[in-house]
Amino acid sequence: MIQAHRLTKRFGSFTAIAEVSFRVEEGEIVGFLGPNGAGKSTTMRILGGVFPPTAGYARVAGYDVVDDSLRARQAIGYFPERVALYTDMTVREYLGYVADMKHVPAKEQAREIARVMDRCGVTHMGHRLIGTLSKGYRQRVGIAQALLGQPKVLILDEPTAGLDPEQVTEVRKLIRELRGHSTVILSTHILPEVEATCDRVLIINQGRLLAVDTPRNLNRRLRQLSQIHVEAQAPLVSLLETLRQIDGVVRVEATHTDHNVVAVTVLTDPTKDLRGVIAERVVRQGWPLLEIRPVQLSLEDIFLELVHRPDEVSVNPGG
Amino acid sequence: MKTTLTICKRELRAYFGSYIAYVLTALFLLLTGGFFYSWLRYFILFGGYVLPSGLWQQVFLDMRYCAMIVLPLVTMRLFAEEKKLGTIELLWTYPVRDLEVVLGKFLGAWLFYVFMLVPTAVAPLVFYTFYQFDLGPFLTGYFGVLLLGTAFIACGMFVSSLTENQVVSAMGTYGILITFWYITWNESVASVAVIEGLLKVSLFDRFLNFARGVVDTQDIVFFVLFVLYFLFLTLASLDARKWRGVGAAS
Ligand SMILES: Nc1ncnc2c1ncn2[C@@H]1O[C@H](COP(=O)(O)OP(=O)(O)OP(=O)(O)O)[C@@H](O)[C@H]1O
Ligand SMILES: [Mg+2]
């Protein structure tokens, strides 16, 4: 449904993305993950027809985004990173304008607009000027305009950025509901977001695609050791000694000591969840256990891992 | 074609949805009305001339300046505002041609100009109820003002596509229009041959015939070419996003 082949974009002498290739199959939800300036928006703009690549090509719904630009754009819904809408129009007026721009037939427009407004929870805001809406509602109107016309492919550039936690959950739910109806590519720099919504994840850093895989595989491949953070009121040496004796613990590192509270990181075999055992041992010694939690692999960790040992991670670009 | 109308409608919505349409119209009417009133008084007090050269020519020549002052303020937002707000990015993801966008915006600004122009005819028409003058030169003058304004709009839209700053957009348009104007009152500085060449491309001198009530196809062709040239330049300027990108960085 989406095919990128050795996409390269240069701005002057600066290369924003280089040789990016991947495929997204019909009905898939794919996450595009990378730090600031990685080239996510640049890639998505090329797919959305905003500007052409300097080299390489991309196809959306079978149409080349440069040679067959109008047909490719007819097949997509695009949500821009910077949600800029015409603030002087009401929500309904604006969606009417978008329906015209997307060539939605006149007699289907009212129904289609009602559908996306309902989908995005803005029905009761139909008569409000967009300029008077809160950021969250503007974001929803932005998503509504992307959904309008039932495009085969949705390109969503950071759809949850800047929303409150409740709305983030709602938007993620909305995206999950699209599964099966549309092919979705969405960008984010939040790792749990792709885990929550995506079938596969593309990881990009400094304009280069580092990995393409399912979130779970990626996590498993990258995480050779699980980390557990433990805080207790205990003498440091005895605590370390006790934890080291647990079966499956590879290493224990003290991270912080403050009066009689100590914090340690326990590195364990990733196939076992040792939190229960650790808690039990600590408590059995009569030490108050203050905190115990798994340490999530952060995006930064993933990049460090990928940059340092890229060959250990499967990269299977299509196209 | 339909897309052009959609965009045109959206532009008109932007003008009339805010106070800017009314402020600009008021300014335009104030200026044109003031000039008409003073020339009419002048004509009545020191009469004896024929109406076309005595009154209409003066009125239409001054209307040039009204259009020159107001139209850059009309066109300044066309592309600059969309670039600044970032709405232009989304515009390029819809299945529309660049040409349709350009024509739609042009048409929107043009219709707004027509909207401003219509009430300026009210005072002369009231005058007509007292004195049935020959409508020919009067209508020719209006036709000229319309053509001249159309040229200003094309020029202003091009400048607007170059920047995301509306002030720069208006100032740049004033700069270009004043340059064209300057060519006309520069007769004594250059040689006759140069002047004759310059006068051929001077917007303001081309307008002179219309103000006198004379229609010359050459003048019409000139204005049409002028407009087409700036529409083409606008398209070329929008094309720059293909290598320069969009957003705050561009
Ligand atoms: N129009 C432009 N002119 C010059 N450089 C640009 C332009 N647009 C983007 N860049 C550069 O290209 C690189 C990639 O930018 P891009 O916006 O694609 O990153 P991103 O992955 O979307 O980042 P973020 O997470 O911050 O949104 C950045 O270094 C950016 O500065
Ligand atoms: Mg981005």
At A312 the pLDDT is 47
Tokens 């509901």 — which residue? A177
Residue of B nearest to A65 (CA): B93
Rounded Cα–Cα distance for residues A289 and A210 (Å): 40
A41 or A196: which leads in pLDDT:
A41
Residue ranges, chain B, pLDDT below 50: 249-250
> Domain A224-294 adopts which CATH fold?
Alpha-Beta Plaits (3.30.70)
Q: Which ranges in B46-165 belong to alpha helices (H)?
A: 51, 57-75, 77-85, 87-92, 98-117, 122-130, 135-162
At A189 the pLDDT is 81
Is any Cβ of chain B less than 8 angstroms from the Cβ of A66?
no
Assess contact for B50 and B43: CB atoms under 8 A: no
Amino acid in the structure at residue A246: I
Across the interface, which of A45, A98, A102 has its CB nearest the CB of B246? A45
Across the interface, which of A97, A102, A145 has its CB nearest the CB of B10? A97
Q: Partners of A60 in the beta sheet?
A: A2, A63
At B27 the pLDDT is 92
Q: For residues A195-215, give the mean pLDDT.
A: 87
Instruction: Give residue-wise pLDDT tens across range A231-290.
Output: 999 888 888 889 898 888 888 888 877 777 889 988 888 777 888 889 999 999 899 999
Ligand 2 mean position to A189 CA, how many Å? 9
Pairing type for strands A183-188 and A153-157 reads: parallel
Q: For residues A147-153, give the mean pLDDT.
A: 94
Task: Sort out which chain B residues have CB atoms less than 8 A from A93's CB and list them.
Answer: 13
- 3-class secondary structure for chain A? CEEEEEEEEEECCEEEEEEEEEEECCCCEEEEECCCCCCHHHHHHHHCCCCCCCEEEEEECCEECCCCHHHHHHCEEEECCCCCCCCCCEHHHHHHHHHHHCCCCHHHHHHHHHHHHHHCCCHHHCCCEHHHCCHHHHHHHHHHHHHCCCCCEEEEECCCCCCCHHHHHHHHHHHHHCECCEEEEEEECCHHHHHHHCCEEEEEECCEEEEEECHHHHHHHHCCCEEEEEEEECCHHHHHHHHHCCCCEEEEEEEEEECCEEEEEEEECCCCCCHHHHHHHHHHCCCCEEEEEECCCCHHHHHHHHHHCHHHCCCCCCC
- Ligand 1 binding pocket mutation candidate from A40, A45, A160, A208 (most atoms within 8 A of CB): A40
At B189 the pLDDT is 62
Candidates A17, A43, A44, A51: best to mutate against B (most CBs of B within 10 A) is: A51
pLDDT of A26 higher than 50: yes
Lowest mean pLDDT among A9-13, A41-45, A187-191, A296-300: A296-300
Q: Is the CB of A37 under 6 A from ligand 1?
A: yes
- The separation between CA B77 and the C-alpha centre of its own chain, rounded to angstroms, equals 14
DSSP state of B49: S
A219 or A204: which leads in pLDDT:
A204
Most confidently modeled range among A30-39, A49-58, B237-246? A49-58
Tokens 């319309």 — which residue? B146
Hey, which CATH number is domain A2-220, 3.50.50.100, 3.40.718.10, 1.10.1740.110, 3.40.50.300?
A: 3.40.50.300
Ligand 1 mean position to B28 CA, how many Å? 43
At B249 the pLDDT is 44
Is any Cβ of chain B less than 8 angstroms from the Cβ of A67?
no
At B102 the pLDDT is 97
At A319 the pLDDT is 37
Reported as a pLDDT band with limits 50, 70 and 90, residue A299 is low
Label residue A293 exposed, middle or buried (CB < 10 Å: 0-12, 13-18, 19+). Answer: exposed
Phi, psi at residue A216, to the nearest 5°?
A: -70, -45
Nearest-atom number in ligand 1 for the CA of A12 is: 4
Domain boundaries, chain A: 2-220, 224-294
pLDDT of A13 higher than 70: yes
Tokens 């040409």 — which residue? B99
Task: Sort out which chain A residues have CB atoms less than 8 A from B249's CB and list them.
Answer: 11
Domain boundaries, chain B: 2-240
Residue with CA nearest ligand 1 atom 31: A37
Instruction: Give residue-wise pLDDT tens across range A307-318.
Output: 665 554 444 444
Inter-chain CB proximity B244 and A11 less than 8 Å: yes
At A314 the pLDDT is 45
